[in-house]
Chains A and B, each alone.
Chain A
């Protein structure tokens, strides 16, 4: 019985080998797994297995896209139409009230525009196996990552204008939370070189700064205050806040703000899984292929979040169009649409007159290969059924006509 089954499986193997060249790796893997299961469970006959395998091939090939299909237009429509159903509001991030994340239409527009910085940069920092389940250690890593400024540990800042003394009252709770000592703060402040610094004798959490002469100008006080509050103590610049979340069996640090390169270097961080929603940063650090993947992932997430169903192929095409030159190009006048080779297509979109003048000065030619250009001059655009051409020699046609007469 077992031998028989083995034999069956072997013949399945043979059949699979036969169809392998005709299908994608993905289909092949899925098919082999499911066929084996079916053979085991339902006693499929070998000829049925063969039939199934070839039917899969047939179905796959009959689902091929037709040459000439205007896939770009279909993509644009498939993304544009559902976007009318999106909400504008900004929602909270994955149940964490502390964070707001741009979602929905604004986020989609942001991605498509290839904005230099996302409105709400967010990082997801996964940790290495050794510490990912240890909350204390995770907290420690989070403290190392979170950027701390004097402002974050200050309870109160008061300036005595007559004596020129700034009193900085630190928050003991925040100090311990951020793992910062009073000495650290004193160190940082002394580097600013704005006057002598001492810790108050009455209160160990109070720092007194005797402002030196040059800063005593009342007009500069606001600037001075900012200088003190914005003094950098520790952490990774750009990371404003961190939150630790439990995901499955591990802890993950979710950070507001983004600095991919430096976070990847932090010990304890699993750099393979660190993620940011800043696409340009991903391109800078990991390259254009990663940026393409990030665009796909971000668009997909945005759409899924709104419960909109769009085929991944459309999103891939958009991402490819945005990245295939090696740079991230925005969808619009300054990017893809602006770099088209056709004068008429560019003139139709935006800044009509400028584009026409520019092409006149440079003596540009429009080879009328695109859709818009042909619509303009009233010809059949070369997409869809328009790509079909009849290769018939003209004299032949004429002679046949004459023959009829």
Chain B
């Protein structure tokens, strides 16, 4: 397909001639419609300015409303008027040039030099320097007081925003009329305009003072007919009518020779209307309002801001062939699949060209029609005619199908689609999935792809887009498929991985104490779809038993090696020093056999670089990685289901003995605090350097009550919790929660803080009226000595919510801040790309990096940042 490409866009100012030339009519009348409701010729809704009504043909281009692009009209202004947006630049021109001869106030010889320099800079494309030169010339010319060309003294011109120019005379300030200003600007020679940064061909300075106003086509300002039959016009149309009214009045006054003052007044009013037409947020003048009091939208308001033309319509476009619905989980899908409801599949279509190889299938689809899946909605004949299959004899149409036709068929299993969840913070927020049409009304996805989308199922919705061209589909399949993004460019490791039950299940399956009967082994393997012989049982007598490690080994490539400390090994009590360790916390896989170690978050978790999936993908490819995820991870949850995994109140209670130990620790700490308070009251407390006594006291108390205390209690609790306790399993394996959560449930919540300080605000000298003013004790300032299992008292609950609220506010503030930062980062960096020589350059081909990242390596293809993992290569040969 050959398409014309726009190669560049030139910006400039419309000249009066140009405005008249592109206009199809001059607008003279304030009347818009006649009595029959037909637009009046010469009014703002003149028929020649574009066909927008259904069935209307444009008298200018002969098109109907689908194809008529709209045509400009124009309005001859009775007197020239400033264009608000340009006043800043008008002032610059007025100041830099002589009001007498119109030439730039720079001596001839220097002027020549600057011109030459400017041309050189232009040839060298040094735009930055050019801009600085213009700036220099402007300042130099403006500061010269007598014209070097005609010797006239220069006038002191002031701009009073938004659009009043004054000249300083002996008698005071004299206002300059737009006509005067325009005359001055007309006198500036082309070369001088160039010196001041202008463009004499496309942006003559005098064009900044309007003599003719272009009237935009009707397409830009469509009128809406309400059900009551009343026409409601666009803001711009209203504004244009105002302008015409004042303009006509001004014209009449001029013709009848009205007094100067009246003309002045009308002229000023015309200026006001034109100003607010362009920009209704100009400071210094009242905003133009609708009769109802609603603020009118000027042209500038249409472009500006998030919902403006640029950010709202041009950069963010609406698309067809997309859909959105609630998501729900389905562990039976592959990670690269998406379950699409049949109802959605019947609406989203793919254009497929009829060939001898697919004609039978497509005939069947056409026969099914739009209402029965799998069917088709439209066919497009070679002559370009599109036929809806809803209202035709489908049998005949199916018969008439021939190679060359295009059938817009329903979405089928195996089609490729793009799947997205907002906020789209990184590229893995949009990935390609393979369609699986399923019953019910939600999109279904594998749980393992939740992390990259940051999705959960509490009502989240996601979007689905169907690529329509062959190129788009090919790129989606080759570049965007889920398995291509398991390794993220953010840190060169897997971002997709197991969490929660996957991790618990992996632990339960591979822990030493798990031995499985044949029955269970078969059940587990069946869930993965494994076909092949069972391994030799690990225990033969009295019955045959298999270990979970054996099952995992079945799915590992035969020459795969891996060694890493488990997550459970991060706790000191379970740490392993070497291979011969009872805790089983070093995972060792040699030649594809899981020799020892329990699999947990460190080996299969998400955002865990250098885990099993990472090496599988790096060394055996994405498909091996994906299949491992599909099968083995499935086995992990099956294990979780078989074993039964739950937590209850009982799992969090500890013996009375343990309670006593904890109480004594807490009592000790409280004792310490009262000791500190006593020291403080007796002024014996030593202030820390740079702190007052009060601050020191607070610091000491927080140190005593927060971290240290919780750690101590946690140490006690670990002795009472066994690794068979599901809560402990979750915390230790990294499935959910952490040891601190555990202590807070069973032990105590500890000191509640807001902004790192104890709770103080509330009543004078106390937080709640239940305390004595000035009470600095632990309980009065938000210390909670109870855990969630014990239950909180009313005051304690209040303290807890106060601290909890801080976190909520924090999140709310953070999202907006980081969102803005990311928008700026994207905007600053988006045009950088790697060129064929490996360098990173900007759009103007300026080199930012000679070799990307100093070694030319793609972070996504790196090994957690390293360009090559030499250890693993050597290891392969040493052991192999």
| Cross-chain contact A363 with B314 (CB below 8 angstroms) | no
Is B688 located at the chain interface by the 8 A CB criterion? yes
Question: With an 8 A cutoff between CB atoms, is A312 at the interface?
Answer: yes
List the A side residues contacting B479 at CB < 8 Å: 385
By the criterion CB–CB under 8 Å, are B824 and A331 in contact?
yes
A163 within 8 A of B: no
Is the beta-carbon distance between B870 and A362 smaller than 8 angstroms? no
Is residue A60 contacting chain B, with contact meaning CB distance below 8 A?
yes
A332 contacts B426, C-beta separation under 8 Å: no
| Residues of chain A with a CB closer than 8 A to B857's CB | 60, 63-65, 313
**B303–A352 CB distance below 8 A:** yes
Mask of A48-88 contacts with B, CB within 8 angstroms, 1/0: 10011001100110111111111111111111111110111
Partner-binding segment picked from A209-217, A218-226, A367-375: A367-375
| A360 x B203 contact (CB < 8 A) | yes
A339 at the binding interface (Cβ < 8 Å) = yes
A63 / chain B contacts, CB cutoff of 8 Å: 857-858, 861-862, 867-868
From B835, B843, B865, A312 is in contact (CB under 8 Å) with B865
Point out the residue from B9, B822, B853, B873 that lies within 8 Å of A366, measured CB to CB: B9
For A341, the closest partner residue in chain B by CB is B844
- Confirm or deny: B831 has a beta carbon within 8 angstroms of a beta carbon on chain A: yes
When distances are taken between beta carbons in the complex, the residues of chain A under 8 Å from B855 are 24, 26-27
Q: Is the CB of B832 within 8 A of A317?
A: yes
Q: Mark A329-365, 1 if CB is under 8 A from B, else 0.
A: 0011001110111111101110011001101111111
A38 engages B878 (CB within 8 Å):
yes
Are A352 and B821 in contact (CB-based, < 8 A)? no
User: Which of A109, A112, A316, A352 makes the CB contact (< 8 A) with B853?
Assistant: A316
> Interface 1/0s, chain A 277-298, versus B by CB < 8 A?
0000000000000000000000
Nearest Cβ in chain A — how far from B71, in angstroms?
21
The stretch among B214-222, B348-356, B489-497, B743-751 that forms the contact with chain A is B489-497
Residue in chain B with minimal CB distance to A367? B8
Taking CB atoms, residues of chain B closer than 8 Å to A241 are: 690
Q: Is B878 within 8 A of A108, CB to CB?
A: no
A82–B490 touching, CB < 8 Å? yes
In the bound complex, CA of A337 to CA of B855 (Å): 27
Q: Say yes or no: A372 contacts B691, CB within 8 Å.
A: no
Task: Answer whether residue B391 sits at the interface, using C-beta atoms and an 8 A cutoff.
Answer: no
Closest Cβ neighbor of A354 among chain B residues = B85
* 1/0 contact string of B470-495 vs chain A (CB within 8 Å): 00000100010000000001111100
Docked pose: A366 CA to B829 CA in angstroms: 18
How far, in Å, is A145 (CB) from chain B's closest CB? Answer: 15
Among A29-37, A259-267, A268-276, the one that faces the other chain is A29-37
Known pairs A65-B852, A75-B829, A360-B203; A310 contacts B491 (CB<8 A): yes
Q: Is B7 an interface residue (CB 8 A)?
A: yes
- In the complex, the answer to whether A311 meets B832 with C-beta atoms within 8 Å is no
Contact A83 B821 (CB under 8 A): yes
On chain B, the residues within 8 Å of A55 by CB distance are: 873
Inter-chain CA distance A384–B834, complex, in Å, is 9
Known: A317-B829, A365-B8. A48 touches B877 (CB 8 A): yes
B877 near A80 with CB under 8 A, answer no
**Distance A345 CA – B128 CA, assembled complex (angstroms):** 17
- Identify which of B12, B813, B825, B878 contacts A112 (C-beta below 8 A): B825
* B315, A376: Cβ atoms closer than 8 Å: yes
Contact of B825 among A76, A361, A383 (CB under 8 A): A76
Tell me which residues from 361 to 403 in chain A have a Cβ below 8 Å from any Cβ of chain B. Answer: 361-372, 375-377, 379, 382-385, 387, 394, 397
Contact of A311 among B425, B489, B869 (CB under 8 A): B489
Q: What 1/0 mask marks residues of chain B from 692 to 730 whose CB sits below 8 Å from any chain A CB? A: 000000010000000000000000000000000000000
Contact between A66 and B858, CB atoms less than 8 A apart? yes
Task: Output the least CB separation between A395 and chain B (Å).
Answer: 12
Contacts of A26 in B (CB 8 A): 855, 867
B304 touches A353 (CB 8 A): yes
Given A44-B878, A71-B834, the answer on whether A309 and B825 have CB atoms closer than 8 Å is no
| Residue B874 is within 8 A (CB to CB) of chain A in the complex | yes
Q: Assess whether A77 is in contact with B859, with CB atoms less than 8 Å apart.
A: no
Q: Does B584 sit within 8 A of A, measured CB to CB?
A: no
- Residue of A whose beta carbon sits closest to that of B88: A357
Looking across the interface, which residue of chain A has its beta carbon closest to that of B305? A352
Contact pattern, B 665-694, Cβ under 8 Å of A = 1, otherwise 0: 000000000000000000000001111000
> CA of A349 to CA of B820 in the docked complex: distance in angstroms?
11
Cross-chain contact B315 with A311 (CB below 8 angstroms)? no
Give bound CA distance, A69 to B588, whole Å.
Answer: 37
With an 8 A cutoff between CB atoms, is A318 at the interface? yes
B interface, how many residues as a size bin?
35 or more
- Contact with B831, one of A68, A310, A345, A365 (Cβ below 8 angstroms): A345
- Residue from the list A24, A70, A349, A375 in contact with B827, Cβ < 8 A: A349
The residue on B at minimum CB distance from A87 is: B810
> Shortest Cβ distance from A151 into chain B, in angstroms?
13
The answer on a CB contact under 8 Å between A80 and B821 is yes
CB-based contact A80/B825 at 8 Å? yes
Interface-lining segment among B48-56, B194-202, B543-551: B194-202
Inter-subunit contact B874/A34 (CB<8 Å) = yes
Decide: A73 near B824, CB < 8 A? Known: A65-B834, A67-B836.
Answer: no
Q: Hey, which chain B residues are within 8 Å of A82, CB to CB?
A: 490
Contact across chains for A68 and B833 when beta carbons are under 8 A apart: yes
A93 at the interface (CB under 8 A from B): no
Partner of A30 from B279, B607, B843, B870 at Cβ < 8 Å: B870
Residue of A nearest to B862 (CB): A63
- For the complex, what is the distance from the CA of A353 to the CA of B690, rounded to whole Å? 51
Given the interface contacts A65-B852, A72-B829, A353-B279, does A24 sit within 8 Å of B867 by beta carbon? yes
**Which residues of B have CB within 8 Å of A361?**
13, 86, 89, 197-198, 203, 208
CB closest chain-B residue, reference A333: B824
**What is the distance, in angstroms, from A361's C-beta to the closest C-beta of chain B?**
5
Report whether B818 and A84 are in contact in the complex, using a CB–CB cutoff of 8 Å: yes
Q: Are A320 and B822 in contact (CB under 8 A)?
A: no
In contact, B303 and A353 (Cβ under 8 angstroms): yes
**A400: shortest Cβ distance to chain B, in Å?**
13
Tell me which residues from 180 to 215 in chain B have a Cβ below 8 Å from any Cβ of chain A: 197-199, 201-203, 208
B289 on the A face (CB < 8 A): no
Question: Quick check: is A247 within 8 A (CB to CB) of the other chain?
Answer: no
Contact call B830/A370, Cβ cutoff below 8 A:
yes
Contact A67–B835 (Cβ < 8 Å): yes
In angstroms, how far is the closest chain B Cβ from the Cβ of A58?
A: 9
**With the chains together, A243 CA to B838 CA distance in Å?**
47
B310 close to A (CB within 8 Å):
yes
For the complex formed, measure the closest distance between the CB of A373 and the CB atoms of chain B, giving whole angstroms.
8
Chain B residues with CB under 8 Å of A143's CB are: none
Please give the distance in Å from A212's CB to the nearest CB on chain B. Answer: 35
Cα distance A352–B609 in the bound complex, in angstroms: 43
**B755 CB–A CB distance under 8 Å:** yes
Contact of A72 with B832 in the complex, beta carbons under 8 Å: yes
Q: Is the CB of B874 within 8 A of A38?
A: yes
- Residues on A with C-beta less than 8 A from B492 are 311
Q: Are B490 and A81 in contact (CB under 8 A)?
A: yes
Closest to B836 in A: A67
Decide yes or no whether A98 CB sits under 8 A from chain B. Answer: yes
Residues in A with CB closer than 8 Å to B847 are: 324
- Measured in the bound complex, the distance between the Cα atoms of B873 and A44 in whole Å is 13
Q: Across the interface, do B426 and A77 meet the contact criterion of CB distance under 8 Å? A: yes
Given A86-B818, A321-B829, 4 more pairs with CB closer than 8 A: A38-B878, A82-B490, A317-B853, A383-B831
- By a beta-carbon cutoff of 8 Å, the part of chain B in contact with chain A is 2, 5-13, 85-86, 89, 127-128, 197-199, 201-203, 208, 279, 300, 303-305, 308, 310-311, 314-315, 317, 425-427, 475, 479, 489-493, 607, 609, 688-691, 699, 755-756, 810, 813-815, 817-819, 821-822, 824-836, 838, 840, 843-844, 846-849, 852-859, 861-862, 865, 867-871, 873-874, 877-878
Q: Which 6 A-B pairs have the closest CB atoms?
A: A363-B199, A80-B822, A72-B832, A72-B829, A313-B853, A76-B825
Q: List 15 A-B contacts (CB under 8 A).
A: A63-B862, A67-B835, A69-B834, A70-B830, A77-B426, A81-B490, A88-B810, A88-B817, A98-B688, A112-B821, A309-B493, A312-B865, A313-B854, A314-B859, A348-B311
